Structures are given as structure tokens and as C-alpha cells.
Structure 1
């Protein structure tokens, strides 16, 4: 028995074709990994920004609540180095406890110092301007808050007057809320001092 060799040769991929295919595959894999790394980096930056915003929101809420109630003292709070050493901790000296990390001193690079809160801004009694700076940000975050006790004083010198629930239109001390006009409170009540 004799075997006849076929004149057709088997064809396969040459070494050059295989190397070109590997280079194309490598470029695709590198592009995909770069896209993944970029997305991961953006996610981390968004998470850090969210953390900073949460810290700032919490601090502003604490400060605003105290200013509005008339209980605020800028000497109560100070900035201290955080445990990680990379940011500042907003610290309550009265209760000797940290409030939040992630802040930086508004004027200097170190964490020492008190809260930057200016009282009676623009000559308006009870108006505060508070400045806070986030770690890594160039400009501080400024916000204005009004002391509600001062705002509702109506110029009578009676801080914290409370409405008399049994006598609409009057304060608890017996003084009228509205001296110059007959106010009906949007139809909800008709004050007894109103003759109309």
C-alpha cells in the first residue's frame, strides 16, 4: 500500500499574523483597563466630594441651629489636627469632643485656631457671617445666619417675646404685636383689640 502525498498544504496562521492579533488584543485590553481606572478614579473623587459636603453640611447645621437660637459662642469651637494628620477636626471645647473631620483652617495651612464667625455683619444686629474651608479647597465657604431672637424683636427691646396663645395678637407680656394696624392673620383669627 502506497500513500500518496497530497499536493495541497495545510494552511494556518503565520507567526506575523499571530503577533498582529496579539498587539490588537493588547491595545483593546489596555483601553478597557484605562477606561475602568478612569471610572474608578472619578467614583473616588465623587465619594470624597460627597464626604466633604456631608461634613460641611453637618457643621453648618450645628452652627446655624445655635446662632438662630441665640446660643452661639465662637469661642466654643476650634480647629484641631485630625487623627490622620491630613485634615482638621472641628472640635467642641465645651463637651470636649470632636464634631467632624475633613475641614481646614480658613486663613492658614495649620489647624490651630478658632471658628471664623463675624457678628453684626454690615451693621445688621444679629446677622453672622461664618467662614469654613474644606481640605484642598482654595476659597472658603461663607454663609450668613440671622439670630431669630434678635430678628423677631421688632425694635421693642424685648428679646424673645412669645405670642400669647390664649390672646391672639398679643405677646405673653400683654403688649400688642401689631400697634399700627388691625391684623387678622389671614382670616385665621380676629384680635380682640380690633374693633372692625
Structure 2
């Protein structure tokens, strides 16, 4: 008489192998979820910097921007700094880091050595280096070009 089926030892070995496969798959899934959360957080920080830079660049290109117009102030939610427009009297973007000792001592927009040229320095939260951009007042550029033309 031939018995068909699986012995208890074979069943336990199969269950152990199955558990290892499930643990590995579960770990991969959890790593994927963790990576997705980190990528989303990084995207939000980058979005804050880019929006702030675009708003400041737009105003610089239109002309008449003084470097003191924009400042960093403590964010209302307590997380980092907000880019504040003193002319409009309102914050523009939250989620920035101080580029100096504190939000109040940071200067996001500074006049460069040439008239009409500005340096914009914004730093995402939890990042070591700021994003530095340069913008020029279009009116000053045109005025300079027409004065230099023979």
C-alpha cells in the first residue's frame, strides 16, 4: 500500500520557505512606502523653493524691487520660515529654511554689484545648501543696453 500526501516535515519546510518569501515581499513593500513618503516630502520642499523663486523673479523682472521688500519670517505653523512680501503685507510661501542664524537675519534677496541685478537665495527645509538664482530688472537691462549702443 502506497501512501500519497505530504509528511509533516515536508509541510513545515514548505511553510518556512513560504514565510521567508512573505517576509521578503513585506519588507520590499514597506521600503517602497517609506521611499514614496520621502520623495513626496522632498517634492513639497522643492515646490516651496521654486514657487518662492518664481514669485520673486517675476517682480524683479517687472522692475522697482528693493532688496528689503522680501524677508524670511517664522512660519505660522512653526516649521521653518515663510517668504514674506512687505509691500503686499502677506506671506508668499511656507516651508523654507533660514539661510543665516535665524529667519529674521536671513536675506533672501540681495542687490548684486551691478544696478538692477539681484541674487535670490532660498533654502528648502532639511537641506544643507540653498538654491541661488540671479534675476535682472528688465528696464535696467534695456536702459543699460541703449546707453551702451553707439
Q: Which residue of 1 aligns with 2:98?
A: 105
8 Å contact 2:70–2:109 — kept in the other structure? no
Structure 1 residues 151 and 27: alpha-carbon distance in aligned structure 2, compared to 1, 3 A threshold: same
Counterpart Cα distance in 2 of 1:62 and 1:40: 33
TM-score if structure 1 supplies the norm length?
A: 0.66
SS class of match (2:144): coil
Q: Which residue of 1 aligns with 2:68?
A: 75
Q: Which residue of 1 aligns with 2:108?
A: 116
Give me the CA root mean square deviation: 2.4
Structure 1 residues 126 and 52: alpha-carbon distance in aligned structure 2, compared to 1, 3 A threshold: same
Q: Which residue of 1 aligns with 2:115?
A: 125
Structure 1 residues 26 and 143: alpha-carbon distance in aligned structure 2, compared to 1, 3 A threshold: same
Instruction: Name which of structure 1's ranges 33-42 and 78-87 shifts more when overlaid on structure 2.
Output: 78-87
Q: Which residue of 1 aligns with 2:124?
A: 134
Higher relative contact order (Cα pairs below 8 Å, separated by 6+ residues): 2
Q: How many residues align?
A: 150
Deviation (angstroms), 1:28:
0.8
Deviation (angstroms), 1:32:
1.0
SS class of match (2:88): coil
Q: Which residue of 1 aligns with 2:20?
A: 27
Counterpart Cα distance in 2 of 1:114 and 1:66: 19
Deviation (angstroms), 1:71:
2.6
Is 1:85 aligned with 2:78?
A: yes
TM-score if structure 2 supplies the norm length?
A: 0.84
SS class of match (1:152): helix
Deviation (angstroms), 1:156:
6.6
Structure 1 residues 119 and 111: alpha-carbon distance in aligned structure 2, compared to 1, 3 A threshold: closer
Structure 1 residues 11 and 93: alpha-carbon distance in aligned structure 2, compared to 1, 3 A threshold: same
